[in-house]
A and B are shown apart, each in its own frame.
Chain A
């Protein structure tokens, strides 16, 4: 084997996959346009814009830097690949009385606005693609909100609305994922506790709405730092359950597989 054949061989065998896996898909995927509504099918027109409020850029950066993606994925796989993500309870979306069945597989436009999609490495913890609706469902209080876990909801920020209680759940999860408030199974959680994202502050005249529902020294309360607030803000933006244009929407059938 001469040196020149060797070099040509290396160039050819590497350039082809480099083009096919990296360069060309990176370019074509960057040119994708979100699906559009069609008047006749959807009753409205215009471009579909994913409904994600929140501090995506800095929140995601914190999510990455704390290594959350080591144990949490954010991808509901196609049912052809695996039905488990779609059908595992509340992962792909929720079935609610008001909104119906919002479950769907992850689509490319779910990751718009993110720098590097945190698809995740292992599933040591549950998938987070639809974290926000799932949490809201869990912290509902009867009789106003049907379903949910009353005990849990009351121990959290009981004065607030569902959204605030869900955020309160996340703050507590970041502070101590094994807190008894989450129920008896929570002690088995393998998640990191991040007390350093919180600070102990004097209560002053009034207890802050964001204060953690945990024991603190007299007259003191645990409050989330800026970093924790940004992270929770990002986490609450994780919902992929909005109604898609008909052309982009399809509902996989649940099989026994």
Chain B
């Protein structure tokens, strides 16, 4: 290695450390408070899922009724955990990829506290019976402008970095991040505006509300998850992204297809039929971006089974892209003509959301958190076992959600509802029991998995991590894995 090159490497390492240092407080804050909300949401989700199966469990108060718990569970998952994890990962990635330390860590940190305050107020509002009762929009309607304003403060400081980057090209992850930063405010504002503010037709308000939850999922959570994976996989595996063209296809197909998804929820209802059919068609076509990301990541990692098995980040990343592929496949099946009428009002309405938000998005966020937190705290993860359990039970839970909550749930629950002749409603309820119980078990698995994550993250936050130059890898031998998995700053060499 020539002197010049080694200077370059040292400079790069210094720059990365500087960036990590500048963002350590806000990003750790988003991760830890996000994880706390995940704990709240999973508890609420378990109780809610149990109440779908056993409705007399915890009965009596408004805040213990399932109608209220269900919305509190979804909204804390989306705005408490999902948004905070996504923001934490996004601002860190943006800074790293733009090679700029954050200029406003204090502002972002304060905004993060305000975000938590707003989510707390909203959640208490739901539990007090003052919520709006709309999926992903259940906070009392005074809360959403505050959330949007706080988001704007955070995003501006992140996007500004992109603009001021000195040289170099735009990475694949950056497309997705910029896309997400661009889509979120627009989706969030127009979703809430047309639902709550614009005094139009009440059905269109409802249609926009159902578009909103899809749009937020496919245009914010999905791109942020993909951005994290496109960053982490080449970085940790030491391989360039398999195909730039495929990545391009994946990104633009998402940008073109995803905004159309959502109004299939009103299939057969009295809104213009083309809106419903666009929604169904786009849900089917979402398989294209999902498949292209999967193929790209799969080929990037091909033949590196051992690295995948050993690196927590790669394990979670790989599971997440499998989850994304599954999401594409399930969306494809559930929206086919003849199936949509079964899935439309079935348990899969919830199951698909849960599978997407946990089986893809959350797994991608865990991958990123396992990578980022040691760099922020300068400590390594303490326990291989905790990570392994977190992974295993997460995957089982996500699989159960996908199988029972979406595919079986949709087809059999939907079929039962459709059998109108000689099949009284009580039979539908009886049949549903199996799937609601399965969903409850899935959430319990996921809750169990995340107990290890919460404890582990809390220890890292308390700076009790290992002081070591070697990352915590999931090797079975007692000795630490000594080979550096990625020797060079591989993303820089990547074909991007």
Q: Is B331 part of the binding interface, using a Cβ–Cβ cutoff of 8 Å?
A: no
Of residues 47 to 77 in A, which have CB atoms within 8 Å of B's CB atoms?
63-71, 73, 75, 77
Given the complex, which residues of B lie within 8 Å of A6, measured CB to CB?
Answer: 170, 175, 178
Distance between Cα atoms of A189 and B55 in the complex (Å): 8
Task: Pick the interface stretch among B11-19, B312-320, B423-431.
Answer: B423-431
Given A20-B278, A22-B194, A111-B202: A192 touches B269 (CB 8 Å cut-off): no
Of residues 81 to 96 in A, which have CB atoms within 8 Å of B's CB atoms?
81-85, 87-89
Instruction: Verify B426–A115 contact, CB threshold 8 A.
Output: no
Given the complex, which residues of A lie within 8 Å of B107, measured CB to CB?
Answer: none
A: contact size bracket: 35 or more
- Most chain B CB atoms below 10 A, which of A26, A70, A106, A189: A70
Given the complex, which residues of A lie within 8 Å of B168, measured CB to CB?
Answer: none
Distance between Cα atoms of A23 and B189 in the complex (Å): 12
Q: Is B309 part of the binding interface, using a Cβ–Cβ cutoff of 8 Å?
A: no
Given the complex, which residues of A lie within 8 Å of B355, measured CB to CB?
Answer: none
Distance between Cα atoms of A81 and B486 in the complex (Å): 54
- Most chain B CB atoms below 10 A, which of A1, A65, A115: A65
Number of B interface residues, CB 8 Å?
87
Q: Is A29 part of the binding interface, using a Cβ–Cβ cutoff of 8 Å?
A: yes
Given A25-B272, A116-B209: A14 touches B262 (CB 8 Å cut-off): no
Distance between Cα atoms of A113 and B349 in the complex (Å): 27
Q: Is B160 part of the binding interface, using a Cβ–Cβ cutoff of 8 Å?
A: no
Q: Is B203 part of the binding interface, using a Cβ–Cβ cutoff of 8 Å?
A: yes
Distance between Cα atoms of A17 and B303 in the complex (Å): 41
Given the complex, which residues of A lie within 8 Å of B209, measured CB to CB?
Answer: 116
- A197 CB → nearest B CB, Å: 8
Q: Is B243 part of the binding interface, using a Cβ–Cβ cutoff of 8 Å?
A: no
Q: What residue of chain A has the Cβ atom nearest to residue B201's Cβ?
A: A29
Q: What residue of chain A has the Cβ atom nearest to residue B205's Cβ?
A: A116
Of residues 33 to 79 in B, which have CB atoms within 8 Å of A's CB atoms?
51-53, 55-56, 59-62, 65-68, 70-71
Q: Identify which of B70, B132, B202, B205 contacts A112 (C-beta below 8 A).
A: B202
Distance between Cα atoms of A3 and B205 in the complex (Å): 35
Given the complex, which residues of B lie within 8 Å of A84, measured CB to CB?
Answer: 341, 417-420
Instruction: Verify B252–A108 contact, CB threshold 8 A.
Output: no
Instruction: Verify A70–B67 contact, CB threshold 8 A.
Output: yes
- B246 CB → nearest A CB, Å: 14
Distance between Cα atoms of A105 and B341 in the complex (Å): 15
Given the complex, which residues of B lie within 8 Å of A1, measured CB to CB?
Answer: 170, 175, 248
Q: Is A203 part of the binding interface, using a Cβ–Cβ cutoff of 8 Å?
A: no
Task: Pick the interface stretch among A118-126, A139-147, A149-157, A210-218.
Answer: A118-126
Instruction: Verify B132–A26 contact, CB threshold 8 A.
Output: no
Of residues 248 to 301 in B, which have CB atoms within 8 Å of A's CB atoms?
248, 252, 255-256, 259-260, 262-263, 265-272, 275, 278
- A54 CB → nearest B CB, Å: 15
- A109 CB → nearest B CB, Å: 8
- B54 CB → nearest A CB, Å: 9
Instruction: Verify B259–A191 contact, CB threshold 8 A.
Output: no
Given A3-B170, A25-B271, A81-B268: A88 touches B420 (CB 8 Å cut-off): yes
Given A30-B201, A193-B60: A70 touches B66 (CB 8 Å cut-off): yes
Q: Is B432 part of the binding interface, using a Cβ–Cβ cutoff of 8 Å?
A: yes
Instruction: Verify B266–A122 contact, CB threshold 8 A.
Output: no
Given A6-B175, A116-B195: A66 touches B65 (CB 8 Å cut-off): yes
Chain B residues with CB under 8 Å of chain A are: 51-53, 55-56, 59-62, 65-68, 70-71, 129-135, 138, 170, 175, 178-179, 182-183, 186, 190, 194-196, 198-211, 248, 252, 255-256, 259-260, 262-263, 265-272, 275, 278, 341, 344-347, 349-350, 413, 417-421, 424-426, 428-430, 432, 436
**A22-B194, A65-B133, A83-B420 known, 13 other contacts, Cβ within 8 Å:** A20-B278, A26-B208, A30-B198, A63-B133, A70-B71, A77-B341, A82-B268, A84-B419, A121-B135, A191-B55, A192-B65, A195-B60, A196-B62
